[in-house]
């Protein structure tokens, strides 16, 4: 971020947070006034540490719960902003010359910015497909139930965990994420974010991260700064287990996922033993490039694992590539901004889970138009409208994938975020996902939440009475257990 842009962002934060919640537009303050406001806020106890450095939470400036953010926020991340896609009708409301030229200029500005945002360093996505395949195999192998999973959401959450851990705890995470250093991972996540975050009126692909801190502990500001800058993570601080702090967490999750996961979020909470919580979200809403006509929607039988059921099926005809492998066929339905929804049908006698047993499907998706087994055909696609959701407990699956130390308080290392604190572990790590498909397009949302807690004291199975009521020996030791004093007490005066 350029120096002048950072100054504007700091000023933007200060003005908005002092304004009334109903205020609908963000105005700018000078860096000097922003610094003054931050100092006043600190004196009032609103912020305990870390001046405002980053800002932008969609919808927060107009929401009546803004006061809650003011009271709890340590820092708010600045999400990438995009030039809105120009509306053709807006530029042609009035007759006159220059309308087409003005629209074309606005369109070119939007398009060039979009290309620049997506132009990230070559190879930034290396390793993501291997991680996606490994985790999809781990969490999508049930042949009976519906399971929906977001590899990218878990990837980013694990990336954040790598920043607040060290030693073998960090090494295990980096190994699963296919990176050799935490610095390399930061670059990858920043590039992934810039290339995929979109909020320009054509499509929504919104990523968000946050940290939830106990007001009773002191956290390393340098680590919080890295998470804010490279992971776009906002930080909030409050009383763990309190109703207000839990309500703020639920509000934040719902705000970032546009209410799509409201029923799965309603019971989310931290407790009094939580020392740190980490949340990551993704929201996706895009229209089909060629929408399905509601007139063509028809009832059809879906032969599910739990029996036949009649559902509404979308129907459309289009010219596109048909893909195939040894045991499946596939089509890629285009979405408005160039994204695709790959629809993969196993051959009779093969289950979807079995397709993940090797990497053929992922190879096809990665190679796309370079895939050898494809042919341009007229495709008559018939697919059910669906609304499916999943809730995962990620801990056991991640253990089986090689991440174990995070969940073991006796060996975990959280010193990058809490320097003088031991006995911590991730006690809960879960993901909730929902995907909806209809005539207009696809909407999907996911959140991943990790709770870090201090281990409870171990209660002994047996109690021994140890009473020094007869002569005894004592030794007083110093550094590295060097004996400083020693003695025998044979009697007492």
pLDDT, residue 124, reads: 87
Q: Which residues of 272-308 are buried (b: 16+ CB within 10 A; e: fewer)?
A: eebbbbbbbbbbbbbbbeeebeeeeeeeeeeeeeeee
Q: Which two tokens stand for residue 392?
A: 């995962």
> How many whole angstroms separate alpha carbon 354 and alpha carbon 435?
22
> How many whole angstroms separate alpha carbon 387 and alpha carbon 406?
34
pLDDT, residue 55, reads: 34
What distances in angstroms separate CA 221 from CA 51, 133, 226, one per listed residue? 10, 35, 9
> For residues 173 and 162, is the Cβ–Cβ distance under 8 A?
yes
Q: Rounded to 5 degrees, what angle do the CA atoms 349, 352, 358 make?
A: 100
Write down which residue in 24, 52, 75 finishes a domain.
75
Query: CB-based contacts of 339: which residues, under 8 Å, 6+ apart?
Result: 203, 205, 286
What distances in angstroms separate CA 242 from CA 236, 274, 280, 335, 428, one per listed residue? 13, 11, 21, 42, 18
Write down which residue in 26, 59, 75 finishes a domain.
75
Domain that holds residue 335: 294-386
pLDDT, residue 173, reads: 97
Write down which residue in 75, 101, 135 finishes a domain.
75
> How many whole angstroms separate alpha carbon 421 and alpha carbon 426?
14
Whether residue 375 lies inside any domain: the answer is: yes
pLDDT, residue 21, reads: 28
pLDDT, residue 182, reads: 96
> How many whole angstroms separate alpha carbon 119 and alpha carbon 195?
7
> For residues 32 and 15, is the Cβ–Cβ distance under 8 A?
no
Number of domains forming the structure of the chain: 2
Whether residue 332 lies inside any domain: the answer is: yes
Residue 328 sits in a domain whose CATH number is 2.30.39.10
Rounded to two decimals, what is the model's pTM? 0.79
Q: Which two tokens stand for residue 256?
A: 């970032």
Q: What is the dihedral of CA 448, 452, 457, 458, to 10 degrees?
A: 50
Q: What is the pLDDT along the chain (493 residues), one digit of tens a residue?
A: 333 333 333 333 333 333 332 222 222 233 333 333 334 333 333 333 333 333 333 433 444 556 667 789 888 887 777 788 888 777 777 655 567 888 888 889 888 888 888 888 888 888 888 988 899 889 887 767 888 889 999 999 999 999 999 999 999 999 999 999 999 999 999 998 888 888 887 878 899 999 999 999 999 999 999 999 999 999 999 999 999 999 999 999 999 999 999 999 999 999 999 999 999 999 989 899 899 999 999 999 898 888 888 989 999 988 899 998 998 888 888 888 778 888 998 888 888 888 888 889 889 888 888 999 999 988 988 889 888 888 989 999 999 999 999 999 999 999 999 988 889 999 999 999 999 989 999 999 999 999 999 876 555 566 666 656 666 565 455 444 556 545 545 656 5
Query: CB-based contacts of 90: which residues, under 8 Å, 6+ apart?
Result: none
Whether residue 372 lies inside any domain: the answer is: yes
Whether residue 182 lies inside any domain: the answer is: no
Whether residue 60 lies inside any domain: the answer is: yes
pLDDT, residue 211, reads: 96
Whether residue 279 lies inside any domain: the answer is: no
Whether residue 321 lies inside any domain: the answer is: yes
DSSP of 156-203, one letter per residue?
A: HHHHHHHHS--HHHHHHHHHHTT-S-HHHHHHHHHHHHHHH-EESSS-
Question: Smallest Cα–Cα separation from 56: which of 244, 232, 223?
Answer: 232
Whether residue 430 lies inside any domain: the answer is: no
């Amino acid at each position: 971020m350029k120096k002048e842009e950072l100054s504007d962002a700091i000023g933007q934060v200060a003005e908005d947070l002092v304004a009334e919640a109903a205020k609908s537009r963000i105005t700018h303050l000078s860096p000097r006034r922003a610094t003054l406001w931050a100092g006043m806020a600190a004196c009032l106890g609103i912020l305990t540490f870390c001046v405002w450095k980053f800002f932008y939470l969609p919808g927060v400036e107009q929401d009546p719960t803004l006061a809650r953010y003011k009271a709890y926020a340590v820092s708010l991340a600045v999400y990438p902003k995009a030039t809105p896609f120009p509306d053709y009708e807006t530029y042609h409301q009035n007759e006159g010359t220059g309308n087409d030229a003005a629209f074309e200029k606005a369109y070119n500005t939007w398009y060039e910015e979009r290309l620049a945002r997506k132009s990230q360093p070559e190879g930034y996505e290396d390793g993501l497909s291997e991680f996606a395949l490994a985790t999809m195999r781990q969490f999508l192998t049930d042949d009976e139930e519906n399971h929906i999973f977001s590899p990218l959401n878990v990837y980013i959450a694990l990336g954040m965990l790598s920043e607040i851990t060290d030693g073998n705890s960090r090494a295990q995470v980096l190994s699963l994420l296919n990176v050799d250093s935490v610095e390399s991972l930061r670059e990858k996540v920043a590039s992934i974010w810039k290339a995929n975050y979109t909020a320009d009126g054509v499509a929504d692909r919104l990523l968000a991260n946050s940290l939830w801190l106990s007001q009773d502990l002191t956290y390393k500001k340098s680590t919080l700064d890295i998470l804010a800058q490279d992971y776009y993570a906002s930080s909030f601080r409050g009383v763990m287990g309190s109703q207000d702090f839990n309500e703020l967490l639920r509000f934040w999750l719902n705000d970032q996922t546009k209410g799509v996961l409201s029923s799965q979020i309603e019971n989310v909470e931290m407790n009094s033993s939580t020392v740190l919580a980490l949340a990551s979200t993704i929201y996706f809403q895009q229209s089909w490039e060629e929408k399905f006509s509601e007139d063509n929607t028809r009832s059809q039988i879906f032969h599910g694992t739990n029996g036949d059921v009649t559902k509404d099926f979308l129907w459309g005809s289009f010219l596109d590539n048909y893909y195939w492998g040894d045991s499946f066929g596939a089509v890629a339905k285009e979405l408005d901004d160039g994204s695709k929804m790959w629809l993969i049908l196993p051959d009779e006698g093969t289950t979807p889970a079995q397709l993940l047993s090797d990497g053929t499907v992922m190879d096809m998706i990665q190679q796309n138009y370079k895939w050898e087994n494809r042919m341009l055909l007229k495709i008559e696609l018939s697919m059910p409208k669906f609304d499916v959701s999943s809730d995962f407990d990620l801990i056991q699956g991640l253990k089986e994938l090689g991440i174990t130390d995070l969940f073991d308080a006796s060996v975990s290392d959280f010193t990058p975020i809490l320097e003088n604190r031991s006995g911590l572990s991730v006690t809960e790590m879960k993901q909730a996902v929902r995907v909806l498909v209809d005539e207009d397009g696809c909407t999907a949302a996911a959140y991943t939440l990790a709770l870090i807690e201090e281990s409870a004291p171990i209660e002994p199975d047996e109690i021994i009475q140890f009473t020094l009521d007869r002569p005894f020996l004592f030794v007083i030791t110093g550094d590295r257990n060097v004996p400083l004093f020693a003695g025998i007490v044979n009697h007492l005066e």
